[in-house]
Amino acid sequence: SWDSSSIIEDQVAKIREEVGDAQVICGLSGGVDSAVAAALVHKAIGDQLTCVFVDHGLLRKGEVEQVKHDFVEATGIKLVTVDASDDFLSALEGVSEPERKRKIIGEKFIRTFEKATRQIVAEAADKGAEIKYLVQGTLYPDVVESGGGDGAANIKSHHNVGGLPDDLQFSLIEPLRTLFKDEVRAVGTELGLPEEMVWRQPFPGPGLAIRIVGEITRERLAVLREADAIAREELSNAGLDRDIWQCPVVLLADVHSVGVQGDERTYGSPIVLRPVSSEDAMTADWSRVPYDVLAKISTRITNECREINRVVLDVTSKPPATIEWE
Ligand code: XMP
């Protein structure tokens, strides 16, 4: 649209002017904000940008490929992927407590990103270049929430990046700082990013780790990943994925209930569907998903995921419950 093309032109000019011929780094999460921010910066400065994608092994089905292949193909961005899933999974071994999961993942994430960044900085130095900027996909509501003023400035200087050591501080480029989510999506579409990425619903940084109630294992992740993919597919087939704010799919891994599948008694775990409607995730209501859609999801999950013999619906608003279970 006219709006998004003028936003793009505007930002591209600003980024070029600020960055000159310096080198820039950007972390990708798999989400829409970092992807659009990176694509904008890439449009402005091309191969002066290097993106880093830490694969923590906790993303949903297809999301790693979406970043590594679809996104790279759509943009031509130079991407360094760190496959850190073994590392994350061993650090999480035996951990069930939600806050500990978050802490371990957050810490490991920043250290993994730091290590990859150091390497990129060193490689640039070998070529006589210097990484001076870090791109962040901060949106206008984030700016307001953190009391960051009117969002007029697109480029902030020497802001401390949480968790990175002092010798790895960069100036920040925040090309989405004046935009709302719908504008970010319009810009992403205009830049030709994969539709699934542009329309991706909110997904927590700690990923599927906080959607397995109990310890995280490879097997449990595989089950949850499959159930989640089925729910997403059916919600999207029903045309509901853009109405629903998000639909966490949760594995109650330590709960077992009796079922009967085929001629056999089973003793499997339940999957919880948590579709919510919301404006800003601060409050939420449970979504009234049509029964036939719920029935389809339930039948498919119990048919296609052998370990699951029961599908339940979370009908709690926020408050009192949070959107995620952990
Ligand atoms: P809750 O569960 O607190 O979630 O109602 C509110 C919104 O935030 C998302 N969420 C997170 N996002 N890192 C994130 O980037 C996190 O650790 C995290 N925890 C929750 C959640 O999906 C919902 O959209």
Q: How many domains does the chain have?
A: 2
Q: Are the C-beta atoms of residues 276 and 245 closer than 8 Å to each other?
A: yes
Asked whether residue 86 falls in the same domain as residue 163, the answer is: yes
Rounded-to-integer distance, Cα 185 and Cα 78, Å: 22
Mean pLDDT within 101-126? 97
pTM: 0.94
Cα dihedral sign, 222-227-233-235: negative
Could you tell me if residue 320 is inside a domain? no
Task: Domain of residue 253: give its range.
Answer: 207-313
pLDDT band at 152 (very low <50, low <70, confident <90, very high): very low
Asked whether residue 34 falls in the same domain as residue 172, the answer is: yes
Could you tell me if residue 95 is inside a domain? yes
Asked whether residue 238 falls in the same domain as residue 166, the answer is: no
Span from the CA of 204 to the centroid of ligand 1 (angstroms): 5
Please choose, from the candidates 46, 31, 67, the residue with its C-alpha nearest in 3D space to the C-alpha of residue 181. Answer: 31
pLDDT band at 306 (very low <50, low <70, confident <90, very high): very high
Mean pLDDT within 295-301? 98
Among residues 198, 227, 244, the one where a domain terminates is: 198
Could you tell me if residue 326 is inside a domain? no
Q: Specify the residue with its C-alpha closest to ligand 1, atom 6.
A: 281
Residue 33 pLDDT: 97
Could you tell me if residue 318 is inside a domain? no
Mean pLDDT within 259-263? 90
Q: Are the C-beta atoms of residues 201 and 241 closer than 8 Å to each other?
A: yes
Residue 265's domain is classified under what CATH number? 3.30.300.10
Residue 163 pLDDT: 86
In this model, does residue 310 exceed pLDDT 60?
A: yes
Residue 82's domain is classified under what CATH number? 3.40.50.620
Span from the CA of 203 to the centroid of ligand 1 (angstroms): 7
Mean pLDDT within 135-155? 74
Asked whether residue 111 falls in the same domain as residue 229, the answer is: no
Asked whether residue 152 falls in the same domain as residue 95, the answer is: yes
Could you tell me if residue 214 is inside a domain? yes
Residues 5-63 have pLDDT tens digits of 999 999 999 999 999 999 999 999 999 999 999 999 999 999 999 999 999 999 999 99
Mean pLDDT within 152-165? 65
In this model, does residue 155 exceed pLDDT 80?
A: no
Asked whether residue 281 falls in the same domain as residue 157, the answer is: no
Q: Are the C-beta atoms of residues 82 and 55 closer than 8 Å to each other?
A: yes
Among residues 152, 174, 198, the one where a domain terminates is: 198
Weakest-pLDDT range from 15-19, 142-146, 214-218:
142-146
Provide, rounded to the nearest whole percent, the portion of the chain with pLDDT above 70: 95
Write out the binding residues. Answer: 29-35
Residue that has been written with the tokens 């542009």 in this structure: 198
In this model, does residue 151 exceed pLDDT 60?
A: no
For a mutational test of ligand 1's pocket, the pick from 323, 325, 326, i.e. the residue with the most ligand atoms closer than 8 A to its C-beta, is 323
54: left (phi over 0), alpha (psi -120 to 50) or beta: beta
Asked whether residue 216 falls in the same domain as residue 182, the answer is: no
Residue 148 pLDDT: 60
Q: Which atom of ligand 1 is closest in space to residue 102's alpha carbon?
A: 17
Span from the CA of 60 to the centroid of ligand 1 (angstroms): 15
Asked whether residue 54 falls in the same domain as residue 178, the answer is: yes
In this model, does residue 263 exceed pLDDT 80?
A: yes
Asked whether residue 260 falls in the same domain as residue 300, the answer is: yes
Residue 159 pLDDT: 58
Asked whether residue 259 falls in the same domain as residue 143, the answer is: no
Q: Specify the residue with its C-alpha closest to ligand 1, atom 20.
A: 204
Among residues 139, 171, 198, the one where a domain terminates is: 198
Q: Which residues line ligand 1 (CB under 6 A)?
A: 102, 202, 204-206, 246, 281, 318, 322-324
Mean pLDDT within 119-130? 96
Asked whether residue 218 falls in the same domain as residue 188, the answer is: no
Residues 74-92 have pLDDT tens digits of 999 999 999 999 999 999 9
Mean pLDDT within 296-317? 98
Rounded-to-integer distance, Cα 182 and Cα 226, Å: 29
Tell me how far CA of residue 160 lies from CA of 131, 138, 150, 157, in angstroms: 15, 14, 19, 9
Residue 6 pLDDT: 95
Could you tell me if residue 324 is inside a domain? no
Rounded-to-integer distance, Cα 285 and Cα 180, Å: 22
In this model, does residue 153 exceed pLDDT 60?
A: no
Asked whether residue 84 falls in the same domain as residue 154, the answer is: yes
Length of the chain: 326
Write out the binding residues for ATP. Answer: 29-35
In this model, does residue 205 exceed pLDDT 70?
A: yes
Complex-level ipTM: 0.98
